[in-house]
Amino acid sequence: MNNELDQRTIEALCGIATATLTTVLLRKGLRNVWLRGSKPLRPGQARVAGPAFTLRFVPAREDLATPASWSSPVSTRAAIESMPPGCVAVVDAMGIADAGIFGDILCQRMKVRGVAGLITDGVVRDLAGVLQTDLPVWCKGAAAPPSVAGLTFVNWQDPIGCGGVAVYPSDAIVADQDGAVVIPRALLDDVVEEAVEQEELEAWIIGKVQAGSCLPGLYPPNAETKARYEAFRRGHVKSTG
């Protein structure tokens, strides 16, 4: 399956809150879509969206998890050189918090390659340098030891489990101040359409709340509220058409 997302879809996703996406996905029966432990490394980090580029670690094994492994054809370095522009790197670090998966040099290379962001249930290292790269990062925090102190890198572009969530290379990823959410590719078009509509509805509802309206019947909207909103939409379309 083509792992690329068209620019219109990416732009739409960048305008949708992860909170909205989880609600839309919940309506479709998907409850486990929010990656636990992946928090924005920098306050105010802008929302990012793109196709998942997956990387997987397993527990460290002493004969494999060595500094020499960094030069292996199967390494984080080789994986980064395979990342296409616009992808979101999603790294399964099994929640390990005492071994940094990437440092400033690797993150800088990702930024230069046009990677949209890094998501992991683990931690990074060289925190000051990582922040200087301006690569958007979602993780559990920072730790000084390198990845091989607690992890063995095994492959990229395989299905992974990150933060307790299954992530496939074809999935869409959206991350903002509330964390990161995965959207299965087969559901993407429907989810985007419903989420855009929900964002517009909730913006209208917030306006009503600011004007003093009470919540019962407004949120969630009952039939009368929905009719009022549809009338507003029709009038808005006419005024801007």
Give yes or no for a contact between 50 and 88, defined as CB atoms under 8 angstroms apart.
yes
pLDDT of residue 236: 73
pLDDT at 123 over 50: yes
- Give me the CATH topology for the region 7-186: Glucose Oxidase; domain 1 (3.50.30)
Q: How far is CA 19 from CA 34, 159, 199, in A?
A: 9, 24, 10
The pTM is what? 0.92
Q: Which residue has the tokens 């507003």?
A: 232
Please choose, from the candidates 125, 118, 120, the residue with its C-alpha nearest in 3D space to the C-alpha of residue 147: 125
Range scoring the smallest mean pLDDT among 52-56, 205-209, 236-240: 236-240
Residue 54 contacts residue 160 (beta carbons within 8 Å) = yes
pLDDT, mean of residues 143-147: 97
Cite the residue boundaries of each domain of the chain with CATH code 3.50.30.40: 7-186
- The Cα 110–Cα 33 span in angstroms is 25
Above 80 in pLDDT, residue 230? yes
Residue 44 has pLDDT above 70, yes or no: yes
Cα within 13 Å of Cα(220), Cβ side: 3
Q: How far is Cα of residue 65 from the mean position of the Cα atoms in its chain?
A: 28
Q: Is the pLDDT of residue 68 over 90?
A: no
Q: Is the pLDDT of residue 31 over 50?
A: yes
Q: Is the pLDDT of residue 1 over 60?
A: no
pLDDT the model gives residue 238? 62
